[in-house]
């Protein structure tokens, strides 16, 4: 039991219990097995976030907890249906929390990793909300406080670094996909692509400077630091690949390790892995460079490597191809039923990012999808995530990745792209999924 963290949160937990006792039951008990369930009134929530939890059919008496966080423009349910963590939970018996970030002015639904309050332990904003979700899961689902893990993609990857820095006594390890070092963003004005110094491609600090940012987040902490796994595509232009090395500099300094890896290998073709172990041989940091990949992680099999790094598969890390896994739904024939699309655009001088949420509003699952739309004149896609986009301009078709091919009725997935423009940053006017026009949300 991590007593230090328990003491920090005890007063918040006491007030939560007293408040619930006065009001009577507000939420039902633990979610039904093998379902994604929203939890309300989970505790202190300064970030105004939503909590979703997935409990598989078989869990241990004290299951591990994985917090899985979406990218900008996404949602908890979207990351549930668009990643492999739920199917891995089915296999290995842990539970998964899927937070949903609230709408941020000018940014879309991104996790706050830039405000002053989000950079201080207990300071407020999203990190406090996520910590409340973990405490709720421990208390109401008998989660193991010694086996809590964080992971996420893009904005969720950034928040993974954030939670490990702010709450090292709460998390045992984390896996950040396409993240940035803790403290990379100076403030809200530094966050948008195109104007950000953090993601502008030239952000560098010394290892000591990066490490000091982590130590200042929780002054005086001298306990065990959570191990971290870092993933980045070498062709990522939205969150530049160079930030992987800055992330390595930060965490090797925090752990007191050399920036020279203790071992390197290629577990899968195109995946270059560097490991940084301490004097006892324990790997504290793993860094994966995915050759030729853009801003589109995690892709098939990568989640399994994260779960293995956490030690939740009860086996040694995979050494050949990654284990195969399927989404936690059946795979019926393709249905060209109804669909709904919601998209948001963040634009700057000559560039933009567009996040697209696709929802299956039909009554049958969709197995394999293609989303067709026409880009406004002057727009050209330079990179994308969670789908393949072709061609880069004009009439574009986005096709599913292997891990988000199946959309159950009511399920959503989030995709997106970065593009250049010549003055017209408008959204596409219509979308067609598998030949059927979608309703614009």
CATH number of the domain that 107 lies in? 3.40.50.1820
| Domain-located, residue 320 | no
The answer on 148 and 233 residing in a single domain is yes
Would you place residue 361 in the very low, low, confident or very high pLDDT band (cuts 50, 70, 90)? confident
| Domain-located, residue 238 | yes
Cβ-Cβ contacts under 8 Å for 185 (sequence gap 6 or more):
113, 114, 191, 196, 198
The answer on 380 and 304 residing in a single domain is no
**Is 154 annotated as catalytic?**
yes
Are 301 and 219 in contact by the 8 Å Cβ rule? The answer is no
Dihedral sign from CA coordinates of 53, 54, 58, 60? negative
pTM of the model: 0.71
| Domain-located, residue 185 | yes
| Domain-located, residue 69 | yes
Cβ-Cβ contacts under 8 Å for 156 (sequence gap 6 or more):
68, 69, 70, 71, 74, 79, 111, 177
| Domain-located, residue 327 | no
pLDDT above 90 for 403: no
The answer on 200 and 56 residing in a single domain is yes
Confidence (pLDDT) at 263: 96
Confidence (pLDDT) at 3: 38
Among 128-132, 170-174, 196-200, the minimum mean pLDDT is found in 196-200
Structure tokens at 434: 């598998």
pLDDT above 50 for 82: yes
Dihedral sign from CA coordinates of 345, 348, 352, 355? negative
Cβ-Cβ contacts under 8 Å for 15 (sequence gap 6 or more):
none
pLDDT above 90 for 11: no
The catalytic position among 75, 83, 129, 154 is 154
Confidence (pLDDT) at 32: 41
The answer on 259 and 343 residing in a single domain is no
- Number of domains, the chain: 2
For the chain, what is the mean pLDDT?
A: 84
CATH number of the domain that 428 lies in? 2.60.40.290
| Domain-located, residue 334 | no
The answer on 275 and 411 residing in a single domain is no
Structure tokens at 158: 């950034």
Would you place residue 349 in the very low, low, confident or very high pLDDT band (cuts 50, 70, 90)? low
Q: In sequence order, which ranges of 256-292 are alpha helices (DSSP H)?
A: none
Considering 261, 289, 310, which residue would you say is the last residue of a domain? 310
The answer on 388 and 435 residing in a single domain is yes
| Domain-located, residue 326 | no
Q: Give the number of other Cβ atoms within 10 Å of residue 29's Cβ.
A: 8
Confidence (pLDDT) at 435: 82
- Domain extent, residue 178, equals 3-310
> 3-state class of 258 per DSSP?
coil
Considering 310, 326, 348, which residue would you say is the last residue of a domain? 310
Q: Give the number of other Cβ atoms within 10 Å of residue 253's Cβ.
A: 20
Distance of CA 172 to the CA centre of its chain: 17
Distance of CA 32 to the CA centre of its chain: 24
Confidence (pLDDT) at 105: 59
C-alpha–C-alpha distance, residues 179 and 17, integer Å? 35
The tens digit of pLDDT for each residue in 174-225 reads 999 999 999 999 998 888 877 899 999 889 999 999 999 999 999 999 999 9
pLDDT above 70 for 6: no
The answer on 359 and 292 residing in a single domain is no
C-alpha–C-alpha distance, residues 274 and 230, integer Å? 10
The answer on 20 and 112 residing in a single domain is yes
What backbone phi and psi angles, to 5 degrees, belong to 45?
-140, 60
What backbone phi and psi angles, to 5 degrees, belong to 311?
85, 20
C-alpha–C-alpha distance, residues 207 and 423, integer Å? 40
């Amino acid at each position: 039991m991590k007593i230090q963290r328990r003491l920090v949160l005890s007063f918040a937990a006491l007030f939560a219990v007293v408040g619930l006792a006065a009001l009577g039951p507000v939420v039902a008990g633990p979610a039904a097995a093998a379902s994604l369930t929203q939890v309300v009134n989970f505790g202190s929530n300064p970030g105004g976030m939503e909590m979703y939890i997935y409990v598989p059919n078989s869990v241990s008496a004290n299951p591990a907890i994985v917090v899985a966080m979406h990218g900008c423009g996404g949602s908890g349910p979207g990351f549930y249906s668009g990643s492999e963590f739920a199917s891995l939970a089915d296999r290995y018996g842990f539970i998964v929390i899927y937070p949903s970030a609230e709408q941020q002015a000018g940014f879309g639904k991104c996790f706050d990793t830039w405000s002053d309050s989000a950079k201080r332990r207990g300071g407020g904003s999203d990190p406090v909300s996520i910590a409340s979700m973990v405490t709720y899961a421990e208390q109401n689902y008998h989660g193991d406080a010694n086996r809590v893990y964080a992971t996420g993609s893009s904005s969720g990857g950034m928040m993974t670094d954030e939670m490990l820095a702010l709450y090292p006594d709460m998390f045992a390890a984390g896996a950040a996909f396409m993240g940035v070092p803790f403290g990379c963003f100076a403030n809200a004005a530094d966050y948008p692509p195109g104007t950000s110094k953090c993601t502008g491609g030239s952000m560098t600090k010394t290892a000591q400077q990066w490490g000091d940012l982590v130590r200042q987040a929780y002054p005086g902490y001298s306990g065990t630091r959570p191990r971290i796994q870092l993933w980045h595509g070498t062709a990522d232009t939205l969150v530049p690949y160079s930030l992987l090395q800055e992330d390595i500099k930060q965490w090797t300094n925090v752990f007191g390790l050399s920036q020279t890896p203790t071992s390197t290998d290629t577990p899968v073709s195109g995946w270059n892995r560097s490991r940084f172990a301490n004097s006892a041989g324990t790997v504290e940091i793993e860094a994966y460079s995915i050759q030729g990949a853009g801003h589109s992680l995690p892709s098939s099999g990568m989640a399994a490597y994260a779960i293995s790094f956490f030690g939740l598969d009860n086996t040694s890390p995979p050494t050949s191809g990654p284990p195969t896994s399927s989404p936690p739904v059946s795979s019926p024939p393709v249905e060209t039923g109804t669909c709904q699309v919601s998209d948001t655009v963040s634009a700057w001088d000559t560039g933009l990012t567009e996040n697209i949420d696709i929802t299956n509003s039909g009554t049958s699952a969709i197995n394999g999808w293609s989303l067709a739309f026409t880009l406004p004149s002057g727009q050209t896609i330079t990179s994308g995530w969670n789908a393949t986009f072709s061609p880069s301009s004009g009439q574009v078709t986005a096709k599913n990745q292997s891990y988000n091919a199946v959309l159950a009725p009511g399920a959503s997935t989030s995709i997106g792209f970065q593009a250049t423009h010549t003055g017209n940053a408008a959204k596409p006017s219509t979308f067609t999924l598998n030949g059927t026009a979608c309703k614009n949300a």
